[in-house]
Structure 1
């Protein structure tokens, strides 16, 4: 491979299956059925890779564009956890290439019409803590393989159109079905229509107002605001308590916590050693 004809190319596959190719060469390159384009202004810093398990010291940066990397897709989380492969290539002969990085995108930040994404190597998941945590509250995520609750059931979610919006995070509705007060606290919101389609948020408060009206407050304002009339999907939340699992979801059989585990205060209380055989 001739050093004067070396360029870099990287392919990114998003969570929705879309694959995009980029290169720092001044012309298009194609191999493995992927077209690597130079016209999106995406680049990557020099890779620093070691034999340990730390995050590789590198990042990808680029410009937001209408047809490749849009601000709305970033906000919707489509690029979170996207897989990435990077090659060094002889642009005279794309068959002469070396894979120099494989991993995923980590934290993605944006601003001033551009974005930056941390690159994480294949060993990054090995840094995550393994095993279960012994805690009175449930360790499962609502609706996952351990919880086994079907969140597609209409008992756990509802669809409603926006009737009022304040500060980008407080939504108001004249009526909201038969859901109990606080039903959606700690739950999620997803926009189904309009310019904010695909964006979402986490519900902080679910407040019942006089006359059957409802107010939903998010923890953080949405970057792109839904319009009056746009539809939202609200999914219930869980506070991880055994009582909630039993009474709200009737799912105590799958509860993944230890509700009878003594607290640290109880273990340290005078005479506790005599009661703890």
Structure 2
């Protein structure tokens, strides 16, 4: 094949990104100077988006790459990046013939957004491929606390009656006052609060403790909280065997080793 044809094929390709946030928002961008329609998706022109070299390995090394782009008031903003809206978002990359977008696109890979840096009106995002999951431990380490999450497939506690909607009455720092009380003492402690309205909509906050109508968040929400905003509060668990047995009646599914001797057993001596 001649060098001219090779160059032709390279210059006719445009890169496309489809970014799917955890809150359901999807953004489709292309480095072309015009919008491209691929299948049923319209990729908006974003010439400022430039990827680094894509590393695709045949071995067990994780596939990684970086994408750089300008912060845009309509698509990817510094405010949303700082608030964590794009954390762990799924990214799918394609190469498309811009002169004929109807041709089957070339899949370049997909992954999740990892570390993000912002500087001088632009951002750099690390994309970690599926093989990066191989870096995680193969087996779990023992622990006195439960390693399952309340309501997941291993815990098996039904969550249907443990999620409640409420409206914000007032807020001060990490403390948010709701228009309805908790079902029991510290029922929302170690739980989650999901924002369904206001500037924090789509974000999730960890709850440290609850008392009556007040919940204390682990961190102050990134944006201002207006009275009347709708939220969902989800009960939590402190992952202790006593709580699992007494409050949830679920000791049979406890995923921890509360009675396993610790390392201090090695330092004990007769008569201690």
Residues 130 and 81 (structure 1), Cα distance of their counterparts in 2 relative to 1, 3 Å cut: same
Counterpart of 1:92 in structure 2 is 99
Q: Is the 8 A contact 2:195 2:230 kept in 1?
A: yes
Higher alpha-carbon deviation: 180-189 or 78-87: 78-87
State the shift of 1:242 in Å.
Answer: 0.3
For 1:228 and 1:89, the matched residues in 2 are separated by 47
For 2:238 and 2:12, the matched residues in 1 are separated by 57
Counterpart of 2:3 in structure 1 is none
State the shift of 1:112 in Å.
Answer: 7.6
State the shift of 1:38 in Å.
Answer: 0.8
State the shift of 1:254 in Å.
Answer: 1.1
For 1:93 and 1:176, the matched residues in 2 are separated by 57
Structure 2 length-normalised TM = 0.80
Counterpart of 1:275 in structure 2 is none
Counterpart of 1:199 in structure 2 is 203
SS in 2 for 1:125: helix
What is the aligned counterpart of 1:186 among 180, 185, 190? 190
State the shift of 1:113 in Å.
Answer: 6.5
State the shift of 1:26 in Å.
Answer: 1.1
Residues 191 and 22 (structure 1), Cα distance of their counterparts in 2 relative to 1, 3 Å cut: closer
Aligned length, in residue pairs: 262
Counterpart of 2:37 in structure 1 is 30
Counterpart of 1:120 in structure 2 is 128
Residues 116 and 249 (structure 1), Cα distance of their counterparts in 2 relative to 1, 3 Å cut: farther
Q: Is the 8 A contact 1:20 1:34 kept in 2?
A: no
What is the aligned counterpart of 1:135 among 123, 138, 143? 143
SS in 2 for 1:158: strand
Q: Is the 8 A contact 2:164 2:232 kept in 1?
A: yes
Structure 2: gaps (5+ residues): 1-5
RMSD: 3.1
State the shift of 1:44 in Å.
Answer: 2.3
Is 2:11 the counterpart of 1:12? no
